[in-house]
Structure 1
Amino acid sequence: MTQKHENDISYLIRQAAYEIHMTLGPGLLESVYETLMCHELRKRGLAVQTQVALPVVYDGLRLENSFRMDLVVENKVVVELKSVEVLLEVHHMQLLTYLKLSGYKLGLLINFNVPLIKAGIFRKVNGLPEQSASSAQSSASSAG
């Protein structure tokens, strides 16, 4: 079994979000979108963990259940789901903090409460190496 690259996983995650949003649209609870995303990602053959505990270590003190990441896909990509009227800067910072604390290199912030889902998907990186030109081109063409 071959390991998928973060960018390939990201493509499948975005594809699942598009499918759900096209079918059901905005306005559902975040917990509903989380369940549906898990279903769609598993249909695509991806391993998905939900509500993954993320400890914080500070000055020798370890806080075990400080945060919960909504989804971790293929043990490589963090997905933070929202269903809010407006994403705030704190939502973006939350995902960046999760990436920093967990050591994962790629995260997606997805807000389903938008008219067009592509306006609600944000990619965040934490030291992810540059992708090849062919991957970059296919990712760019699939994002639009």
Structure 2
Amino acid sequence: MNADGLHTKETEAIIGCAFAVLNDMGHGFHEKPYENALVVEFRYRDIEYAQQPRYPLTYRNEPVGEYIPDLIAFGKVVVDAKTIERITDHEIGRMLNYLRATGLQVGLIINFKHAKLQFRRVTLTKPEAPGHQS
């Protein structure tokens, strides 16, 4: 299954929230106020979310730490609020790791640094079962 079209309605709703936040707050703050403002907008629009849930990280079946995403929206999408110059392959690679850690397939990196909102949808295609073809 190709994950590119997965959760499109949900990611569009999240991006709409991000536009509302940026239009109201403006750019130039640190990441946390934008994360918190997204939470307010999610509540306003009745979007299910979890703020900073904890996911255990293991290595060889032993706990080695935890990953704490900014937000999980709709129970399906990892949302990472940023205030960086631009979204690069580095952030995309990190989001792929976040998706592996959470077991989810879709993530959104949202950059509030500039007057024009920047975002990147990242998908993780899960390996297909042996003998299965799409």
Q: Which amino acid aligns with 1:50?
A: Q
User: Which structure dedicates a bigger proportion of its chain to helix?
Assistant: 1
Deviations 1:32-58 (A, max 9, x none): 001100010111111111112122121
Please list the CA deviations of residues 10-43 of structure 1 after superposition, one character each: whole Å capped at 9, or x if unmatched.
1110001011111222101111001100010111
Q: What is the aligned partner in structure 2 of residue 85 from structure 1?
A: 85
Structure 2: distance between partners of 1:90 and 1:126? 15
- Root-mean-square deviation (Å): 1.7
Matches within 5 A, 1:118-133: 120-127=118-125
1:46 is the counterpart of 2:44: no
- Cα deviation, 1:90-123, whole Å, max 9, x if unaligned, reads 2221111011121111100001002311xx1000
Point out which structure has higher relative CO (alpha carbons under 8 A, 6+ apart).
2
Does the aligned pair in 2 maintain the 1:12–1:44 contact within 8 Å?
no
The question of 1:111 aligning with 2:111 is answered: yes
TM-score, normalising length from structure 1? 0.77
Is the partner of 2:81 in helix, strand or coil?
Answer: strand
1:24 aligns with 2:25: yes
Kept after mapping to 2: 8 A contact 1:53/1:64 = no
Q: Distance in 2 between matches of 1:106 and 1:76?
A: 7
- How far apart in 2 are the matches of 1:47 and 1:35? 14
Contact in 2 for aligned 1:12/1:41 (Cα 8 Å):
no
8 Å CA contact 2:87, 2:120 repeated in 1:
no
Other structure's SS at 1:40 match: helix
Question: Partner letter of residue 72 of structure 1?
Answer: I
What is the identity, as a one-letter code, of the residue corresponding to 1:27? G
Aligned-partner residue type, residue 111 of structure 1: N
Task: Please state how far the C-alpha of 1:89 moved relative to its aligned partner.
Answer: 2.9
Q: Does 1:63 align with 2:42?
A: no
Identity over aligned residues, as a percent? 26
Count of equivalent residues: 121
Q: Secondary structure at the match of 1:19?
A: helix
1:73 to partner: Cα distance: 0.7
Amino acid at match of 1:46: I
Point out where structure 1 has 5 or more consecutive residues left out of the alignment. Answer: 129-144
